[in-house]
Chains A and B, each alone.
Chain A
Amino acid sequence: MNGLEVSGLSKSFDGATAVHDLHLTAPAGAFVALLGPSGCGKTTTLRLIAGFERPDAGEIRINGRDVRGLPPHRRDIGIVFQSYALFPHKTVFENIAYGLVRRKVAKPQLQTQVRDAIELVRLNGLEQRYPRQLSGGQQQRVALARAIVIRPSLLLFDEPLSNLDAKLRLNMRGELRRLQRHLGITTVLVTHDQEEALSMADQVVVMNRGEVEQTGAPHEIYTTPANLFVAGFIGEASLLPITVVSAADGVVRAQCGSTVLHLAGSQVSAPGTRGTLVLRSEDMRLVDADEPATDAVNVVEGLVRESTYLGAMRQYRVTGVSDADVIFRLPGNRGAILREGQRVRIAWPADAGSFCPEGPST
């Protein structure tokens, strides 16, 4: 198969497991993000794929070729490092040309290819500068051009945007994505930034403690997290502990503290099941005192405990629903502004949210 196939990959350092039995498949041209908190094993995975580390077990195939035992320089990969790792003693042109020089590409062809790469990342006119003389964003582009000019079988991005300021990071996200689509090179991105992963990747692999927690398209990861770790790590979620009391006519009733909630029947059925209801802020709305709860709509009442201004939105933490807090957001600059200590009623449709068969995280 073309693309990247990783199976049963394991690695430990001095007895501490960094990656355990990791499976990962990226079809040719796909953009996969390894997402997780620091220390989750995502960088180790990248280094194993690149060949900088030797796996304890497992198999790595790039375009069908087993690369176990191949040193990094025979794996035909392009890497963009978090630090960019530009050669400080080489000019922009020489940096980008390096991979071609090593591949013994003839000079006229080399010059054309380097010029094309420079064009692609819009660095025209900076060819003779040294890395020190460039801004962070420009250095990033050089690193990118250097990695893609060799047309590798696989592109690896190690937190490529984390050293850029917020505005530039947003621009570069789109640019990286466009470039990757344009070139069609299979790409693995390592990031701790969920927005980066969701906005850039076709497929997100959420990792924790060396293991894959969930693999899926960005919207799957967001809307139907497989477990509480994913639910808590991706986006801001309200986690309500519930116990199913009855299931009839497609409506599931579940106890959440002293409140009875309704869930869409497709999600859970067996009475007595304990678990957690994961709600996204955008599922919820503020309702008036006279709006009743129905089988289709849950309404809970609580106390605004904390209000945080986020610019476009204002985020509220509401207590009083079981032991858990409900987090929801309202447009920040129009409409009602809730005061801390105010009583509010919050509603969400029964088919909103997703159910995780686990107790609240400890």
Chain B
Amino acid sequence: MSASAAELTIRRGARDGDALRRRPFEPWLLMSPTLALLLVFLIGPLLILLVYSFYRYVPGGAMEETFVLDNYRKFLTDPFNLGVLWNTLKLGAIVTAVDVALGLPVAYSLARMRNRSVRAVLYALLLVPLMSSVVVRSYGWMVLLAPQGPVNEALLALRIIEQPLALLFTPAGTAIALSAVLLPFMVIILTPVIQSVEEDLELAAQSLGAGNFRAFLDVVLPLVRPGLGAGSIVVFVLAIGSFATPALVGGTSVLVMPLYIYQQALGQVINWPFGSAMSFVLLVIVLLLVALQAKLLERNRRWREDA
């Protein structure tokens, strides 16, 4: 481009109301409706909850506006409360592990599928459960896991078991149902990440002496670690925050934090300060996990940077 042409472009830009200079602000402009929404309906209520968590509970449902650490102390010193937290985190960890183990092969197969129309159909099937309510899906699992439900009937018919397994209203049944309910999230997050790993890399590893599985371990797995981290965080957070599935499938056998918070703040007791404090404990744990995950990814940084 000649100098005069360049000049012309610049001058035209200036005449069009400084389009170039205004560009840095555009992203903010584009995000502003969402940001406003988040500020009013997420950050705002959270701040209110944070304030509540330092209030003092007055039996009967009232609150005394003050600044005390009673609620946090109550939660963190009572073995029962910590037990609920521990069960919640354990459920989240189990569900996440199951979904990694089940989701990775599914996502890999989808990502490497050559027939695009078959892949599209399978992908759609994966999304179908997300179109129905989580209550409906959990109810479906209640039917499946019942003592005379299809799962037990099948296992009995195959003579794998002699007595129906107690699955409904147990922690195990809850973990099974929750893993199934959250599996699509894992697969949806992992599939494009695996797709972004060039297939030639696997072929190269194979040509150099790695079998299929070895090539997957050496090449695909390290490269999809960020996606695996993201998928795990999403599934874990959804698992420890889930309400309907533990309530329906777990019944009274499974008391997890969301159910406990509901009981304390909105159920029999109406202790808002305590419920708020518990919410914040859970939130802080999630944030710490996200930070840990970011820290772990930091190690990948070196080879991702250009010279």
Contacts and interface: CB of A to CB of B under 8 A. Distances in A.
Contacts of A146: 204, 208
Given A85-B198, A88-B223, A102 B210 contact: yes
B21 interface: no
Interface string B192-205: 00000010110111
Contacts of A50: 203, 207
A27 to B, nearest CB: 22
B33 interface: no
A73 B207 contact: yes
> What's the dominant secondary structure at chain A's contact region?
loop
A3 interface: no
A89 B198 contact: no
B302 interface: yes
A72 B210 CA distance: 9
Contacts, number: 80
A99 B200 contact: no
B209 A73 contact: yes
Interface string A38-58: 000000000000111000000
Interface stretch (A74-82, A163-171, A267-275, A304-312): A74-82
A89 B223 contact: yes
Given A81-B200, A102-B214, A72 B207 contact: yes
Contacts of A77: 207
Interface stretch (A127-135, A173-181, A212-220, A251-259): A127-135
Contact of B304 (A102, A103, A132): A132
A83 B199 CA distance: 11
Interface string B273-307: 00000000000000000000000000010111111
A85 B201 contact: yes
B203 A79 contact: yes
Contacts of A52: 203, 206
B222 interface: yes
Contacts of A83: 198, 200
Contact of B208 (A130, A132, A134, A150): A150
Interface string A57-100: 00000000000000111010111010101111111000000110
A282 B223 CA distance: 53
Given A85-B200, A88-B303, A89-B300, A98 B205 contact: yes
B208 A73 contact: yes
A134 B204 contact: no
Contacts of B201: 85, 87
A87 B203 contact: no
B207 A132 contact: no
A102 B200 CA distance: 18
Interface in A259-285: none
Contacts of A91: 303
B104 interface: no
Contacts of B223: 88-89
B306 A98 contact: no
B196 to A, nearest CB: 11
A80 to B, nearest CB: 9
B248 interface: no
A51 to B, nearest CB: 8
Interface string B120-134: 000000000000000
Interface in B202-229: 203-212, 214-215, 218-219, 222-223
B132 to A, nearest CB: 36
Nearest to B211: A73
Nearest to B225: A89
Contacts of B208: 73, 78, 98-99, 102, 146, 150
Given A81-B200, A88-B223, A102-B214, A133 B306 contact: yes
The residue in B219, B305, B306 that gathers the most chain A C-beta atoms within 10 A of its C-beta is B219
14 contacts: A52-B206, A79-B204, A81-B200, A81-B204, A83-B198, A83-B200, A98-B208, A102-B208, A129-B307, A132-B303, A132-B304, A133-B305, A134-B307, A156-B207
Counting from the closest, the 7 A-B pairs by CB-CB distance are A102-B209, A99-B208, A85-B200, A133-B307, A130-B303, A85-B204, A72-B206
Interface of B: 198, 200-201, 203-212, 214-215, 218-219, 222-223, 300, 302-307
